[in-house]
Amino acid sequence: MSTVAPHAGRSPLSGLRVVGGTWTRLRQGELGQLPALLGLVAIWSYFQLRQPTYLSARNVSNLVLQIGVTGTLAVGIVLVLLLSEIDLSVGSVSILCSAVLAQVVVNQGWSWYWGIALMLAVGAAIGAFQGFWLAAVRVPSFVVTLAGLLGWQGVQQWVLGTTGTINVNEPHIGAIATTTLPAAWGWALAAGGSAAYAAVRIQDQVRRRRAGLPAKPLVVVALRTALVAAISLLVVAVLNGDLNGVWVFGRAIYINRGVPTPGVILLGLVIVFAWLTSRTQLGRYVYAIGGSPEAARRAGINVTGIRIAVFSLCALLAAVAGLIQTSRLGAASQAIEPGQVTLEAIAAAVIGGTSLFGGRGSVWSALLGAVVIGSVANGLDLDGQQPYVKLIVEGAILLLFVTIDAFARRGRRASGT
């Protein structure tokens, strides 16, 4: 008597079933990052038709530099949104930490590495303070971080003094925004990242099959891996082209060919925090609290401690963003508008696919949303548009994606998911 291997008879229809299952999830509101991906394709197509240099090596490198700050802040915002909270203070915290770095390195004569260590510690401490205030004192996060938006901006102005600006010419700090990976390292990064992605996806499918859970067909995993590899290699190929001067905030930065260091930092942060949220107990607790704080509390989760930890991590990432910003500008300055910086980071997180209603999203959405926001801003700059046009367009895009998220949430409720 012959035996039939499990799922052996499903292969001819597996492709149709995958398509059908995907369509069902879309109708039920499981949109994920699809709207952002479609929007990004539309944005790139539009600006490339208007400006043939839009997707050139020089401009793509400039785009990577531009999204370093927004993307880093957005990673922290995603963590907070997953808790169904909000942090309106990240812009002010970022600029304050930049001012602390400039003050101790330039005016106090500290070594650059001790200055960076102090600014990171200040950021984490501010986040823990705000997290304690909302988690233990039970003041809504909107109010606590709105107070932080105003208060930390005042502290930053006090740290900078009457001049309002401290120039930072320390070469190690400046190198963060002005250096690139050697070409071979860029290729190795793309290849290694693609291989790691494939290994993680295959491991997930093996675990699901062993546990008797539904798993995607191998062809789907292979296609996704091939897509990630193709995009990674294409980006590195573009960035490894010859570059001349890249203008950033009126400063000509001359870069050798290669992947800009801020892009590597951002990608590294996304990978680390994506692992943290998807592979660790802390990450599972964050999603649980975002889905239902009361249910999480009854399950024995330390809701107060998790909230404090997440807000501390968010402010720590704001300090990292402040370091990148200081390197780009060569200064710490109160001329930067913290409110706009904050709202762009929130917009990036939401546009990338993280729900404002908590419990749904991925850290990868921070990277995707930052690319969308940066692509629009970059394209409008190339097109010679005024700053107010950029703000109007960014506001309209944010409203569109929040509306999509709201409709998707209704779809999930209607389907019972």
Q: Cα(97)–Cα(94) distance, rounded to whole angstroms?
A: 5
DSSP 290-316: HH-HHHHHHTT--HHHHHHHHHHHHHH
Provide the token pair at 376.
């629009």
CB atoms < 10 A from the CB of 241, how many?
14
pLDDT of residue 76: 95
As a whole number of angstroms, the longest Cα–Cα distance in the chain is 89
DSSP letter, residue 286: H
372, containing H or E segment: helix 364-382
Say what the pLDDT of residue 272 is: 92
**Which pLDDT tens digits describe the chain residue by residue (417 residues)?**
444 444 444 444 444 454 444 444 544 445 556 777 888 889 989 998 888 888 887 888 888 888 999 999 999 999 999 999 999 999 999 999 999 999 999 999 999 999 999 999 999 999 999 999 999 999 999 999 999 999 999 999 999 988 889 999 999 999 998 888 888 898 998 888 888 888 887 887 888 788 777 777 778 778 888 888 888 888 888 888 744 444 444 444 444 468 889 999 999 999 999 889 988 999 999 999 988 888 999 999 999 999 999 999 999 999 999 999 999 999 998 888 888 899 899 999 988 888 877 767 888 889 989 999 999 999 998 888 888 888 898 888 888 887 877 776 666 566 555
How many angstroms separate the CA atoms of 313 and 153, rounded?
Answer: 19
Which residue type does 30 have? E
What DSSP letter does each residue of 66-100 carry, written as one string?
HHHHHHHHHHHHHHHHHTT---S-HHHHHHHHHHH
> What integer pLDDT is reported at residue 78 of this predicted model?
94
| pLDDT value at residue 245 | 46
Cβ neighbours around 114 below 10 Å, total: 12
pTM of the model: 0.85
Domains of the chain with CATH codes: 31-179+260-409 (1.10.3470), 182-250 (no CATH)
CB atoms within 10 A of CB 347: 24
Residue 161 DSSP label = -
**Cα–Cα distance between 286 and 142 in angstroms, integer?**
18
pLDDT value, residue 128: 96
Specify the pLDDT at position 1.
43
What pLDDT shows up at residue 413? 62
